[in-house]
A and B are shown apart, each in its own frame.
Chain A
Amino acid sequence: MRKAKWWLSLALALTLGAAGCGPQLDQSAPAGGSGGSSGGQTSSGGAGAGQSGGGEFNVGLAISLSGGTAKFGEAVKRAAQMAVDEFNEAGGADGKKAKLIVYDDEAKPEKSVEIVQRLIQQDKVVAFVGPANSGNAKAHIKFAQEAGVPEIIPVATGTAITDTYANEEKNYIFRVAPYDRGQVETILKWVVADKKFTKIGLLHDTTGYGQGGKADVEAVLKEQYNMSLTAVESFQVNDTNMEAQLSKMRDAAVEVVIFYGLAPEAAQYLKSRQKLDYYPLTVASWAMGDPTVKELVGDLVNRDVYMVQSFTIDQSESSRAFHEKVVAKFGEDIFPIASAQGYDCMRLILEAVKKAGTDPKAIRDAIENMEGFEGVTAIGEQPFTKENHEALNSSNMFLATYKDGAIVKP
Chain B
Amino acid sequence: MLQAVVSGLILGSIYAIIAQGYYITYVTTRTMNFGQGDFLMLGALLGLTSLGAMTSAGMNLIVSVLFTLMIVAAAMGLLGWGLERGAIRPLNHILSVGWILSTVAVSLMIRNIAMLVWGRNVIPFPSPFGNEVYRFGSVGITKHEVFVAFCAVVIMACLFFFLNKSLLGKALAAVAYNPEAASLMGINPKRMAVLAFALSSALAGIGGILVGPITNTAFFMGATLGLKAFAAAIIGGLTNPLGILIGGLLLGVLEQVFSLYSSAYKDASAFLLILIVLIFMPQGLLGKKVKEKF
* Interface residues of A, Cβ cutoff 8 Å to B: 1-5, 7-8, 10-12, 14-16, 18-19, 21-25, 29, 31-32, 66-68, 70-71, 206, 233-236, 238, 240-241, 243-245, 247-248, 263-264, 267-268, 274-277, 292, 295-296, 298
A174 to chain B, nearest CB (A): 29
Chain B residues with CB under 8 Å of A296's CB are 122, 124, 216
* Among A1, A240, A248, residue most surrounded by chain B Cβ atoms (within 10 Å): A240
Known: A18-B107, A241-B214; 15 extra A-B contacts, CB below 8 A, are A1-B292, A11-B34, A14-B34, A18-B108, A23-B219, A23-B220, A29-B112, A32-B116, A240-B214, A240-B216, A245-B263, A247-B3, A267-B122, A268-B216, A275-B141
Binds A, one of B73-81, B83-91, B221-229: B221-229
Contact among B115, B267, B294 with A236 in the assembled complex (CB-CB below 8 Å): B267
Contact among B108, B120, B230 with A22 in the assembled complex (CB-CB below 8 Å): B108
- Given known pairs A15-B104, A235-B263, the reply for A240 and B11 (CB within 8 Å) is yes
Q: Does B191 contact A (CB under 8 A)?
A: no
B108–A32 CB distance below 8 A: no
B285 to chain A, nearest CB (A): 15
Question: Smallest CB-CB separation from A11: which chain B residue?
Answer: B100
Mark B201-234 against chain A: 1 for CB-CB distance below 8 A, else 0.
0000000000000111011110110110010001
| Residues 122-136 of B contacting A (Cβ, < 8 Å) | 122, 124, 131, 133, 135
B260–A248 CB distance below 8 A: yes
B273 to chain A, nearest CB (A): 14
Complex-state Cα separation, A1 to B294, whole angstroms:
9
Chain A residues with CB under 8 Å of B120's CB are 25, 31, 66-68, 70
Q: Does B172 contact A (CB under 8 A)?
A: no
Chain B residues with CB under 8 Å of A263's CB are 122
A-B CB contact pairs (8 Å), 20 listed: A4-B30, A5-B282, A7-B96, A11-B34, A11-B97, A12-B230, A15-B104, A15-B226, A22-B223, A23-B219, A25-B220, A29-B112, A31-B116, A32-B116, A234-B264, A238-B224, A240-B11, A247-B3, A264-B216, A296-B122
B230–A15 CB distance below 8 A: yes
A331 to chain B, nearest CB (A): 19
B124–A7 CB distance below 8 A: no
Contact among A18, A29, A244 with B104 in the assembled complex (CB-CB below 8 Å): A18
Chain B residues with CB under 8 Å of A15's CB are 34, 104, 226-227, 230
Q: Does B256 contact A (CB under 8 A)?
A: yes
Chain B residues with CB under 8 Å of A2's CB are 292, 294
A262 to chain B, nearest CB (A): 10
- Given known pairs A18-B104, A240-B215, the reply for A276 and B32 (CB within 8 Å) is no
Chain A residues with CB under 8 Å of B34's CB are 11, 14-15, 18
* Among B111, B120, B140, B223, residue most surrounded by chain A Cβ atoms (within 10 Å): B120
Contact among B32, B215, B256 with A243 in the assembled complex (CB-CB below 8 Å): B256
Interface SS majority for chain A = helix
B147 to chain A, nearest CB (A): 15
| Residues 261-294 of B contacting A (Cβ, < 8 Å) | 263-264, 266-267, 282, 290-292, 294
* Among A7, A22, A268, residue most surrounded by chain B Cβ atoms (within 10 Å): A22
A1–B122 CB distance below 8 A: no
Q: Does B119 contact A (CB under 8 A)?
A: yes
Chain B residues with CB under 8 Å of A24's CB are 220
| Residues 5-21 of B contacting A (Cβ, < 8 Å) | 7, 11, 14
Chain B residues with CB under 8 Å of A4's CB are 30, 292
Complex-state Cα separation, A399 to B22, whole angstroms:
49
A241–B220 CB distance below 8 A: no
A277–B119 CB distance below 8 A: no
A274–B133 CB distance below 8 A: yes
B240 to chain A, nearest CB (A): 15
B223–A19 CB distance below 8 A: yes
Chain A residues with CB under 8 Å of B282's CB are 5
A238–B220 CB distance below 8 A: yes
Ranked nearest first, the 4 interchain pairs of A and B with the lowest CB-CB distance are A1-B292, A275-B140, A244-B259, A19-B223
Chain A residues with CB under 8 Å of B4's CB are 243-244, 247
Chain B residues with CB under 8 Å of A12's CB are 230, 234
Complex-state Cα separation, A238 to B223, whole angstroms:
10
A213 to chain B, nearest CB (A): 15
Question: Smallest CB-CB separation from B100: which chain A residue?
Answer: A11
Complex-state Cα separation, A174 to B111, whole angstroms:
38
B78 to chain A, nearest CB (A): 23
B264–A206 CB distance below 8 A: yes
Question: Smallest CB-CB separation from A247: which chain B residue?
Answer: B3
Question: Smallest CB-CB separation from B266: which chain A residue?
Answer: A236
